[in-house]
Structure 1
Amino acid sequence: MKSIRKLARWYFSRSALPYWSILLLDCVFVVFSGLLAFTVHHGSEQTLSVLGSLCQTLCAFLACFIIGFRIFHTYNGVMRYSSFSDLQRVGSSVILGAVLCCGVLWLFNASDCIVSFGYADIILMGLFAVAFMWTVRVWVKTVFEQTAKRADTSRAYILGVRDGGVALAKSIRSSADSPYALQGFVSDEGDMENRVLMGVRVYPFDSALPDTMRRNRVSTLIVSPLKMDALKEKEAAELINELVDSGVRILVMPQAREWDGKSDLRLSAFHPVDVEDLLPREKIEVDMKAAAGLLHGHAVMITGAAGSIGSEMVRQIAAYAPSKLILIDQAETPMHGIRMMMHDRWPGIESETIVADIADRRIMERVFSRYKPEYVFHAAAYKHVPMMEDNPYESVVN
């Protein structure tokens, strides 16, 4: 009894109001669909002549549909986040309700309180009900997505149309605060070009892509993890350079992370493409036990420690508990971040964060003389090739 009272209190509480609203709306659709189906088959004049008895019949049928709604929990979802599975549940509940209605019709066909409502009327009633319920859910979801878009939303294409591309597209569309608006897919597969996928066009991955993106005001290209290897081919790398030069922002998943092909893809895991992402390197298997034996308890220097490669080296080497880390970079602000990271995550490791240019011989001689590193990981470099081509003097000096 206590559990029944608890359930009853919840059903009539304020928090249950959204569920009741959806249930009542669906019930209205069912009754209206019954009236519409009867009118289509028997005409409006006969419908009006038996309206009282027809309403009694539809009330009996409505109880059957409510059973379907309860079993499949069609009213538990949030309309603005409706998905294909929600629509499936709605369809299943209506089918069950229609089957139960057929049973009621078979049992009480001779009763005076049941209007001559045929099996064809029930089928048409179910079709109308599904159409109304699906339409409202899709409409509410569409309106919500359009009104909830951020003002700074960037128009984006996704490179890749298989599982990875579709997963990214779903991530963009399911997130109310996504910074991207899906405008199309890009594919190097001939059988997919110029088709429509998830309501947007699939464009070819060719030399016309920069002009296409410029014409359609698309500023971001998100690369599916399954397409990273294709980017390392010479022709693709040249096209990527053209896109970058035209101002397109290209997002990729870091090579250190691998996608299993099944789990959800989060846009927060992607970062702007970097030169090392496009280098055609084979995966290198490192003997981590041997590395740990070499670095544990020794003084290690890392140049370029604040860069993308150097900072990852810091994290991996710190895990082997060296006696000291000498971290060098000429970028002062990123080095402050490295300093804070060492203080928070590895307070037991003595670390020196030195802001200096390793091309300055005198400074480096003093650093080596003072800290006496036993191992040096040299990661300092200029890596943005197009930009350094525009600054040849600094490139040569370096």
Structure 2
Amino acid sequence: MKYQLRLSLLIVVDSLIVMSSVFIASWMLTENAGMTATATLVSSVTLFFAHHVFAYIFKLYKKVWSYASMQELTGIFLAVTGSVAFLALVQLVTLGVTYNRALAITWMLHILLIGGSRFSWRFIRDYKLSSDRNKKRALIIGAGNGGNLVARQLINSEKSELRPVAFIDDDSNKQGLEVMGVPVLGQLEDIEHVAEHKEVEQIIIAIPSLSKQELNDIFARCAEAKVKTQIMPSVEDIMAGNVTVNEIRDVQVEDLLGREPVELDTDKIGKKLTGKAVMVTGAGGSIGSEVCRQAAAFHPAKLVLVGHGENSIYAIDMELRNQYPNMEIEPVIADVQDQAQMDDVVDKQEPDVIYHAAAHKHVPLMEKNPHEAVKNNVLGTKNVAEAAANHNVGAFVMVSTDKSVNPTSVMGATKRIAEMVVQHMDTVSATKFVAVRFGNVLGSRGSVIPLFKKQIENGGPVTVTDPEMTRYFMTIPEASRLILQAGAIADGGETFVLDMGEPVKIVDLAKNLIRLSGFREDEIDIQYTGMRPGEKLFEELLGEDEVHDEQIYPSIYRGKTPPVNIQVIDDLAEQFEDSQKKELRNEVLDIAHFRVPQLTAVK
């Protein structure tokens, strides 16, 4: 309805209500208590004008009454009370008396009729929405504030494809009650029964404060009901302003396998980054680009994006320029394997801190290409680290992996040797050198999750190497937080490790992804292919000789390593190109395991 027509209709309806309410009030009273004809006429005209003045003051004609709530009801109450109070004052001044009982009845009629005329708009709208049988029947888990918001959004939105038909909540005091007209029909153990009884077509988990374990438990129950399950955003995302509370989305594997978030010491990180020059190698990769995003939030004076792939550097450069138009951002296409180029980049950009995320990380590929693993992971790290030392960079943080602990692969061994390089550089330089280790990163390039998703889209089978293979998992944002935090709390020479909780079986990950994709486990086959070269059944975060018992920061541990004779690594760097593939593989594994007699430096 157009605004002018709507406004005219409301004014006419209000005028009829106002003019008649005084007469009705007078008629309802006895002759002695009622008003004279003159008093009734004066009161009616006065109330007519008073009402429209107060209706204008309290914006009664600017409300969208199809969405009316307590705020709109409050506006009606104030407008009616103000107009009746003004009428009482006019009666006292002009007639010398106030007709209190007539005024009280007038006020009540006013509230009832004005409010009823407005809320009838919402009633009609809600009735039409609730009676729309084309919408899918939804079950909401959680009848608290989150569930209330979700139900309100679904009920009030004409575009919503869902209609809430029931709540599930573990609070026994809510059982049998209704929220937004939707009944609370059971507790968590009743999900499958309620879903079947109410013919539920979709489930929404509406408890934003859930822990990962609690979400896992609830999702497992929803999976038993064989109904598509979605979730409202987490408290962390809502507080960060990334999403609104009503943005319902599919449950992601990151929700089920990610750890509880580690809180950052933003003050310490801010002192290291705010107003400083920050350089990130491998800035176009999944970890490097997220480090750039999180570092940018601390408003460095300059952010230097170093990477070998022009497309990925272009993408993160454009993203950050759009989000931080006033920040100085320097995209640099460069290869960490080029020693002279790295020295030149550090010399020109003058970074205060370097986050070194450039690396080859694919285990089977590096088994077949050990020379490339050494060039990128060992020599690349050595080149950037030496450039940092030569130009007095404040801190150098290397991104490492749990595969560097007791490595069985070329990739893990080269990352272990890179840690040795960083450890040595800390002993001969004023720059603070540290390494950061973590497990598999959910959703990163080359991770198993994109492969599983593609296999599921193709109808299977999903290939798992071994039913007992386990891995630690964390999200890309959390991995990047650990990198930033390590640089902030580093004294130099440490290897930082995140307490990653319990490892996850890869086959369980595959089963979760199958359910999240809307299939039953028996609809998509899982095939076991056997372990690939260089793989281990399980990963470790610290070796037995590296463990410090105490946490130096919540959920962060510091590893210790023996001193290293850098000459052995220098010899590797000079001779590796002449080595045969098998010889080179054995050599890097021997160095990584400290099996070279002259490797350990004399203390």
Regarding TM over 0.5, the answer is yes
From 515, 526, 546, the counterpart of 1:392: 526
Residue in 1 that maps onto 2:319: 345
Written as runs of structure 1 = structure 2, the 5 A alignment for 1:1-398 is 18-42=6-30, 54=40, 57-109=43-95, 118-147=99-128, 153-218=135-200, 219-226=202-209, 228-229=210-211, 232-233=213-214, 237-245=216-224, 246-254=226-234, 257-259=237-239, 265-268=244-247, 270-279=248-257, 281-285=259-263, 296-299=279-282, 305=286, 315-316=293-294, 321-324=304-307, 341-342=315-316, 344-345=318-319, 348=331, 350=333, 359=364, 368=373, 374=381, 375=399, 378-379=440-441, 380-382=447-449, 383-387=509-513, 391-394=525-528
How far apart are the structure 2 equivalents of 1:312 and 1:140?
Answer: 48
**1: distance between equivalents of 2:107 and 2:271?**
69
**Residues 301 and 20 of structure 1, relative CA distance in 2, 3 Å threshold:** closer
The 8 Å contact of residues 68 and 97 in structure 1, kept in 2 or not, is answered as yes
User: 1:271-291: CA deviations, max 9, x gaps?
Assistant: 322333234834324675899
Gaps in structure 2 of 5+ consecutive residues: 298-302, 321-329, 336-360, 382-398, 402-439, 442-446, 450-508, 515-520, 533-603
Deviation for aligned residue 1:188: 1.7
Q: Deviations over 1:104-150 (max 9, x none)?
A: 33344479xxxxx9432221122122112212222212323455789
The alpha-carbon distance between structure 1 residues 299 and 80, as it changes in their structure 2 partners (threshold 3 A), is closer
CA shift for structure 1 position 90 = 0.6
Report the Cα distance in structure 2 between the residues aligned to 1:56 and 1:71, rounded to whole angstroms: 23
Shift of 1:325: 6.1
Q: Counterparts of 2:87 and 2:117 in 1: how far apart (Å)?
A: 24
Deviation at 1:56, TM superposition (A): 5.6
Instruction: Decide whether the 8 Å contact of 2:284 with 2:313 is kept in 1.
Output: no
**Aligned-residue offset at 1:243:** 0.8
For the residue of structure 2 that corresponds to 1:211, the secondary structure is helix
CA drift at 1:361? 5.6
Structure 1 unaligned segments of length 5 or more: list them.
Answer: 1-13, 112-116, 328-335
CA distance in 2, matches of 1:153, 1:351: 54
Q: Distance in 2 between matches of 1:139 and 1:88?
A: 16
Q: 2:55–2:61: 8 Å Cα contact kept in structure 1?
A: yes
Is the radius of gyration larger for structure 1 or structure 2?
Answer: 2
- Asked if the contact 2:307/2:332 (under 8 Å) is kept, the reply is yes
Contact 2:140 2:166 in 1 (8 A): yes
Q: In the alignment, is the contact (CA less than 8 A) between 1:168 and 1:265 conserved in 2?
A: no
* C-alpha separation in 1, matches of 2:365 and 2:240: 45
> Number of residues paired by the alignment?
354
CA distance in structure 2 between the partners assigned to 1:258 and 1:91 by the alignment? 34
* Deviation per residue, 1:214-263 (Å, 9 max, x gap): 3223312132312x12x624xx63442131341231214257525389x9
Is the Cα–Cα contact under 8 Å of residues 326 and 371 in structure 1 kept in the other structure? Answer: no
Rounded to whole Å, the distance in 1 between the matches of 2:375 and 2:155 is: 56
Deviation of the 1:317 alpha carbon: 8.0
Once residues 26 and 249 of structure 1 are traced to their aligned partners in structure 2, the CA distance between those partners, rounded to angstroms, is: 47
2:94, 2:115 → 1: CA distance?
31
Partner of 2:163: helix, strand, or coil?
strand
Letter in 1 for 2:18: V
C-alpha displacement of 1:200: 1.8
**SS class of match (1:267):** coil
Aligned partner letter, 2:237:
R
SS at match of 2:61: coil
Contact 1:275 1:384 (8 Å CA) reproduced: no
Cα distance in 2 for partners of 1:290, 1:92 equals 52
Q: Any conservation in 2 of the 1:255–1:277 contact (CA below 8 Å)?
A: no
Within 1, Cα distance between the matches of 2:50 and 2:333?
73
2-structure distance, mates of 1:106, 1:289 = 67
Q: What is the rounded CA distance, in whole Å, between the counterparts of 1:365 and 1:105 in structure 2?
A: 98
Shift in alpha-carbon separation, 1:350–1:244, aligned structure 2, 3 A: farther
Residue 182 of structure 1: CA displacement?
Answer: 3.4
Q: Is the 8 A contact 1:207 1:239 kept in 2?
A: no
Percent of aligned positions with the same letter in both sequences? 15
Checking the alignment, whether the CA contact within 8 Å between 1:253 and 1:271 is kept in structure 2 is yes
Q: CA deviation at 1:207?
A: 1.6
**Distance in 2 of aligned mates of 1:313 and 1:394:** 35
Contact 1:19-1:75 within 8 A present in 2 as well: yes
Tell me if structure 1 keeps the 8 A contact 2:186–2:194: no
Following the alignment from structure 2 to structure 1, what is the Cα–Cα distance between the partners of residues 54 and 13? Answer: 15
Residue 137 of structure 2 aligns to a residue in which SS? Answer: strand
Secondary structure of residue in 2 paired with 1:217: coil
Please state whether the residue corresponding to 2:143 is helix, strand or coil: coil
